[in-house]
Structure 1
Amino acid sequence: MNVKEPDAVIRLWPALLTPITTTGAVDHDDLAALTGDLIARGVDGLVPLGSTGEFTEFGPAERAAILETVVAAAGGHVPVLAGVSGLSTRETCALAAQATDVGVDGVLVFPPLYWKVPEDRLAGHFREVLAATDRPVVLYDFPALTAQPLPPSLLRRLAAEEPQVVGAKLTVRDITAITAALDATRSQRPGFAVVTGFEDLIPAAMWAGADGAISGLANLQPDLLVALVAAVRAGRPEVAALYERVMAIFDVYGLSMPAIPGLKAATAALGRIASPRSRLDGGAGLAEAATLWADAHYDAEAVVA
């Protein structure tokens, strides 16, 4: 399955957590189990080594091993879109080539990290990544962390000139940024995928024309996120009730700074992964706080096992 095929567009793709053992190693058994469970619950694809997957915390060998586990566990049932971003263009290209060798279906790419650069250099960065892999490329816009937004003019340019660039993930708070990206890219290529990275924007983004979401919350409650995206697509009346449930758990992102340790601890508290351990420092007492959060947000019948 290839991410550029029309029936493989991004609807609801979890941004995978990377389970860590109590000794700090990647828990490949748990990662494979999480991958299989998410596929069984109806997700359309998987995104390892994005922000939710703590990509900054793993060296090249660990990244390759993580991708090997996810690709093997996915077994071709859904596409695997691998995060390959690094500090430099050269590092990102090496990671893209490595992910290609592992057998992923596509790659997700940030702008160069740390340095702010003009639009021509941004375009050059992405074009060098395109040359490093024969897989479809999804651009990743997360200006709150990169301080380097991807302007609509750049998205329009790449949509028009680079068919290997098949979409963009926009982790942006402003819905007008999503509509601007849609206007810029769909005028060049109607099938260009645009998705949100924030679950609270799913209905608004999709009503504006976006395809769906790459979602960290889907690790925590995949059935709910799959159902919300499907309901919005079909225009079903249960959208409001499903969205209310999503918003009831959205505060999980406030358990820690950064948000990933808290999301991971809450996912562990619900028994969906084995350990709350993160390579990012979530602060003392986070596992206890996550357990209290889970107890407050779920009753026995609401927990998704």
Structure 2
Amino acid sequence: MTTATALSGVIPPVCTPLTPDFEVDTASLTRLVDHLLDGGVDGLFVLGSTSEVAFLPDGHRRTVLETVVGHVGGAVPVLAGVIDMTSLRVLDHVRTAVEAGVSGIVVTAPFYTRTHPAEIARHFRAVHARSTVPVYAYDLPVSVHSKLGAELLLELAAEGVLAGVKDSSGDEGGFREVLLGRRDRDLTGFSVLTGSELTVDAALWMGADGVVPGLGNVDPHGYVRLFAAARNGDWAAARTEQERLFKLFGLVHVGGPHMGRSSSALGAFKAALHLRGIIDSPTTALPQIPLSPEEISRVAKFLTDAGL
């Protein structure tokens, strides 16, 4: 839901289903969107990390945007990642996303080259100047090698450059610093969303507006129940749901030492969606390594144990 203060609720980062020859499977993508909407989510985030954005060429990105925005038809906000290494490249993605009709764009700090905080601020200001939709920062230091500090985020929020942040840093102290700074500066329109799907109940208790959970592709209903319990002040129910989701999240570790974490986690999400009959193929983008039949059977066990 979008409130008078900030974007809030459950906003999953949508997986990008691919055909076995690595094209975007638009039929599976629309089924996945319907699955998420049926789960009661409050918005969708396409072309993020869980969407394999780093692996997708520009044509694939455009197909995802047009498919999801067209299919949703304004039923919920659609945020789009405009993630790339440097500002000029990001500005190209901004233009494409805005033309596709997204509700907001999500931007990381520049990466590949090391970037000074003053340059990061300039980057976000440049994106805001070119965008006709709200700009959300994506704090992802494990991938971009730059932590978005609370002071920088709050300064840009006060300027009207940033409408919010998705925090996937895992830095709970820094997360609380942003929440406290927002309150102290009366930045009620600045949305603070957690991307840490294992501690959502704690983040909401601290005052977060919502969650962007990769596991929400597999079980959107669970995250919607968790958010509703927290909103109603039923923290025991929120904790119970979080603990069930915590156990389900173990499926991201089914891949063995012969593959990277991305191959294991994104492969598990897609295997789960395939096993649930939502997407046609669990294919992940090159050069990720596919899960073996035995590893996929372990994903099935996690689904069974979670009541899915």
Same fold flag (TM > 0.5): yes
From the superposition, tell whether residues 285 and 64 of structure 1 become closer, same or farther in structure 2 (CA, over 3 Å).
closer
Corresponding position of 1:134: 132
Letter in 2 for 1:246: L
Q: 2:83 aligns with which of 78, 82, 85?
A: 85
CA contact (8 A) 2:267 2:291 kept: no
| Structure 1 unaligned spans of 5+ | none
Pairwise mapping of residues 169-248 of structure 1 onto structure 2 (< 5 A)? 169-188=166-185, 189-236=187-234, 237-248=236-247
Between Structure 1 and Structure 2, how many residues are aligned?
299
In 2, Cα distance between the equivalents of 1:83 and 1:284? 25
Deviation at 1:128, TM superposition (A): 0.8
How far, CA to CA, are the matches of 1:97 and 1:131 in structure 2? 12
Label 1:70 to 1:213 Cα distance change in 2 as closer, same or farther (>3 A).
Answer: same
User: Does the CA contact (< 8 Å) of 2:6 and 2:190 recur in 1?
Assistant: no
In 2, the alpha carbon distance for the partners of 1:241 and 1:54 equals 30
Aligned pair partner of 1:302 in 280, 301, 307:
307
Paired residue secondary structure (2:11): strand
Tell me, in whole angstroms, the C-alpha distance in 2 between the residues paired with 1:59 and 1:228. 35
Change (3 A) 1:195 1:287: farther
Residues 16-63 of structure 1: CA distance to partner in whole angstroms, max 9, x if unpaired? 000001121110111111112211220000001000000011222221
CA distance in 2, matches of 1:59, 1:297: 32
Residues 272, 303 of structure 2: 8 Å contact kept: no
- Quote the offset at 1:8 in angstroms: 6.7
Q: Measure how far apart 1:174 and its partner are.
A: 2.5
> Is 1:271 aligned to residue 292 of structure 2?
no
2:16 match: 18
Shift of 1:291: 2.6
Partner of 1:55: 53
Q: Does 1:249 align with 2:253?
A: no
Residues in 2 aligned to 1:121 and 1:41: alpha-carbon distance in whole angstroms: 40
**TM-score, normalization: structure 2?**
0.92
Q: Contact 1:265 / 1:287 at 8 angstroms: preserved in 2?
A: no
Deviates more, 1:247-256 or 1:76-85: 247-256
Letter in 2 for 1:232: A
CA distance in 1: counterparts of 2:228 and 2:193, whole angstroms: 14
- CA-to-aligned-CA distance 1:88-116 (integer Å, 9 cap, x gap): 11010110111000100100001102122
| Matching residue's letter, 1:270 | R
Aligned-pair CA distance for 1:136? 0.3
Give the gaps of 5 or more residues in structure 2.
256-260
Classify 1:284/1:67 alpha carbon distance in 2 versus 1 (closer, same or farther; 3 Å): closer
The more displaced of 152-161 and 268-277 is 268-277
User: Which residue identity is paired with 1:17?
Assistant: C
Normalising by the residue count of structure 1, what TM-score does the alignment of the two structures yield? 0.92
CA 1:284–1:33 in structure 2 vs 1: closer, same or farther (change >3 Å)?
closer
SS in 2 for 1:200: coil
What SS class does the counterpart of residue 289 from structure 2 fall into?
coil
Amino acid at match of 2:53: F
* Percent of paired sites with the same residue: 35
Distance 1:285 1:52 in 2: 16
Pick from 108, 115, 125 the counterpart of residue 117 of structure 1. 115
